[in-house]
Each structure stands twice: as structure tokens, then as C-alpha cells.
Amino acid sequence: MTMRRRAFLGLAATASLAGCGYRSADAEYKQPAGAVPKQYAGRTRVVFWSSYGGANGKAVDTLVAKFNESQADVYVEAQFQGSYDDVAQKVAAGLVARQTPDLAVLSDVTWERFFLNDALEPLNGYFTDGFGPAVFHQKLFNEYVVKGQSWCVPFARSTPILYYNRDVFAKAGLPDRAPRTWSELRSWGDTLAKVDAKGRPMRTLALAKVDGDWQFQGNVWQFGGAYSNGLDVAIDQDGAVAAGEFQRQLIHEDGHGYMASSPMTDFAGGLVAMCQDSTGGLKSAMSKAKFKVGAGFIPSEVAAGLATGGGGIGMFRNASAERKQAAAAFLQFLATPENSAWWTTQSGYLPVVDKAREDPALKKLVADEPNYGVAIAQLVNARPQDAIRLYGRNANVAIYTGLQQIYADNAAPKKVFASVARRLEAISEEVSRLYEEKVL
């Protein structure tokens, strides 16, 4: 195994691993432990690793149970493995041990690394009239296509949206809408501060301590910058620096912004007027908040643009042919308009299947609660993330660690991003050969 691959797996460079390939083209890897229940005896078992707990996890379990009852050949076993990062780490360890699930939810910044290291099964050969490029929303589907082959299918896809407290806006005399630009948001800070927030002035915006680099990807575009052009690092250039400077001023000069461990928790608790967070949290936010929740487009500034995120589902190359065919049947089931629409109504994630938007239950939900329509409408501004964040191992960590210095320490963005750029350039070097070979 190369040093790059060892680093990807987060494993020590032991002698026993030296010379080991990430996968063997002809090997058939075992499944995680388990068995087909008696009532489904004789079926092909498919192991599906999920990263969704809570209400979303229950929805996944419902879809799996519905699939298992819908046919007589395949049994899918959903196994919750923790966060996106937890799933990726466990899959990577399983690949070394030659024991992997057949399917797994892979995040926007993990599937590419499995692709680069030849762990994923190309899906084109499994597509049918009811399951393939024509079925899915093209922007979301195409993010997983490299050199004409599809390597995952969209499932729990999201964008950031701007959540705002409609009751607070009304008390402050502000319009019942999200601010259209970041400058407008900043201009509302003094007005919002006049509203009481449990004994303190209401602050305008909470910014994420961890993983805020996903939202900031869009903010950088909105200020005319980029994280990278291809793998050429650009975070230390004017647009990205301007975005960081705006957030620094909002926190440290205006006193209207702050860094939060969980912006959504603070928002739902009535401590802050706005936050930018995933569409996948919409249902939870509206159920927890004791006020009217509004949702709007992420503000623009010199440009519009926001990053897509969330999870797709990948199939692993070293499963047996029988297991891969059975896994494809489950992916096709999830891609039916009815099931895609139902998942959206339960979670708030985007409807990744085009015809799902015509599902009566989803149409009624959007009509009754327009917040659910915001994310769908906002897709017009969505685009794939910059390559360094997607393909660079721990590039996201380098970026949000830099943001923490700006948010917590009032560090100058130009200086911070110059340091981050040096780290990203080293990461770019790590992945450049595989990126040029497999992507370009």
C-alpha cells in the first residue's frame, strides 16, 4: 500500500501493510457479520451502512423494511455506523480487513477518496429505464459522474439554507424574508440587537465551529472567490479573504455574530436570529423551535452560488456479483418517485428524483409549508464544490480550523488563509497524481 493510501486510511505504516494493495481486482470480500432472518430465508443478503440516526434513521429503517416486504429475492440489512466520517473510517478499515458492506452512505467529501483508490463499483452497468441518469436531478446525479461512469447515486442530498426566526423579525420590524445580500444581513444587526434573547441582545448570525467550511464554500463564491481552481489553491486570494473578513467584522467589530458548537441548536433555542445550515435539518428545526421558522436563500454578495452536500450511496467493488446485483435492486427501489418523495417529507433532504416533485404528498407539504420548497428552488444557484475540498484528504479540516482562528481569536483572514493555503498545497500534492490520472 502506498503512503498516500495509508494516510487516507489513517493507519500506521506497519511492515505487514507494506506492499498491500487497496483492493484486489479478483478478490471477493466478506460481509460484516449477520444473517438473513428466518422469514426471509433463501434471499441474497445486502448489508447497507447508514449514517442517519434519530428521526432520519427511523425513516431509513422504514424504507428498508418496505423494500424487504416488496419482493422475495433480496434482504437488505441496514446498519447504523455513526456520522459520515465514522462510516468512511469503518469502510476504510474494512477494506484493509477485506470485509465490507455492499452499500454505504458516503458524504460529499468521502466518496471521491474511495473512488480514487478503486474501491467503488461503477454503476452504469446496473442502470435500467427506471434507474439511471434520466431519473435523477441532473446537477445532483452528475456530481458522481467521472469520465462517463457513475460512482454513487444521490440519496440524502442537501444545500445550506438560511434559517431565520420569523417572530424575532416581526418584533424588530424587519421584513418576513431572508436578507438578499450579506451586506443587508449586516445592516440588520443593530435592529435585531434590540430584541431580547433570554436576557441578552439578540445576535444576528451563528457560525459553525466544526464543518463550517461547507457553508463557507458558498460564502467564498458569493464574494467572488474560490477554495481552488482544480487543485490549484486559491483560498488565500481576494474573494475568499473578503468572505473571511466579512465574518470577522460581523463577530469582532459589530458584535452581532459568533462561533457556535451547534448553530442550529442555538437557533432553535431562540438565542440567535439566523443561521445557515443544511436543508436536512429543516423538519427537526421546525419541530424543536417554539417560534415560527422561516427559510430563505443563502444571501449573495457580488455573486450567487452555494455548495451541495449530504450523502450519496456507493456500492463496493469487491462484493460478489450476486450481492452487487441485489444491492442494485435496492438502489432502484430508493429511486422510485414515491420513495424519494417520502424520504424528503420525512427528513427535509432534497428530492433527488425529478418525478418525486410531482408526488401528491410532497406537493401538499410544500404548499402547506413553503420552507420545504426553498431548498428545491435554490438549486438553481447550486454547484459542485471546489476540487481541493472534495479530493484532498482533510482539506475540510484545514479550512474549518482556519475559520476557528478568525471566529474565536479575531485573526486576520489574509494571514490565516495564507497558512491554510500552504497546508492545502501539501494536500494537493498528495492527491495530484491520482486526480490527474482518474479525474482529468
DSSP string, 224-290: T--SEETTEE-TTSHHHHHHHHHHHIIIIISS-EEEES-HHHHHHTTSEEEEEEEGGGHHHHHHH-S
Give ∠ CA 116-382-330 in degrees, rounded to 5.
55
**Do both 82 and 51 map to the same domain?**
yes
Is 376 among the domain residues?
A: no
Residues found in the chain: 440
Residues 284, 313 share a domain? no
Residue 67 domain-assigned (yes or no): yes
Cβ-based neighbours of 413, under 8 Å, separated by 6 or more: 240, 241, 243, 244, 245, 248, 406
**Does 215 reside within a domain?**
yes
Three-state secondary-structure class, residue 163: strand
Instruction: Say yes or no: 277 and 407 in one domain.
Output: yes
Please check whether residues 343 and 398 belong to one and the same domain.
Answer: no
* Cβ neighbours of 130 (radius 10 Å): 12
Q: Are residues 235 and 326 in the same domain?
A: no
Q: Which domain holds residue 256?
A: 160-307+385-435
- 149 and 207: one domain? no
- Is residue 380 a part of any domain in this protein? no
Query: What does the angle CA 140 – CA 393 – CA 247 come to, to the nearest 5 degrees?
Result: 75
Query: Contact at 8 Å (CB) between 51 and 83?
Result: yes
- Which grid coordinates belong to 342? 417520502
User: Do residues 339 and 289 both lie within one domain?
Assistant: no
Shared domain check, 145 and 165: no
Residues 71 and 203 in one domain: no
**The pTM is what?**
0.90
Domains: count for the chain: 2
Clarify whether residues 259 and 362 are in a common domain.
Answer: no
User: Does 8 fall in a domain?
Assistant: no
Q: Which residue has the cell 442555538?
A: 266
Residue 15 lies in a domain: no
Same domain, 239 and 313: no
**pLDDT tens for the chain, residues 1 to 440:** 333 333 333 332 222 222 334 555 568 999 999 999 999 999 999 999 999 998 899 999 999 999 999 999 999 999 999 999 999 999 999 999 999 999 999 999 999 999 999 999 999 999 998 899 999 999 999 999 999 999 999 999 999 999 999 999 999 999 999 999 999 999 999 999 999 999 999 999 999 999 999 999 999 999 999 999 999 999 999 999 999 999 999 999 999 999 999 999 999 999 999 999 999 888 889 999 999 999 999 999 999 999 999 999 999 999 999 999 999 999 999 999 999 999 999 988 999 999 999 999 999 999 999 999 998 999 999 999 999 999 998 999 999 999 999 999 999 999 999 999 999 999 999 999 999 999 99
Integer CA distances (angstroms), 229 to 235, 373, 398, 417, 425, in order: 10, 32, 17, 16, 12
Distances, alpha carbon 110 to alpha carbons 83, 115, 314, 395, in Å? 12, 9, 11, 11
Q: Are residues 181 and 296 in the same domain?
A: yes
CATH number of the domain that residue 58 is part of: 3.40.190.10
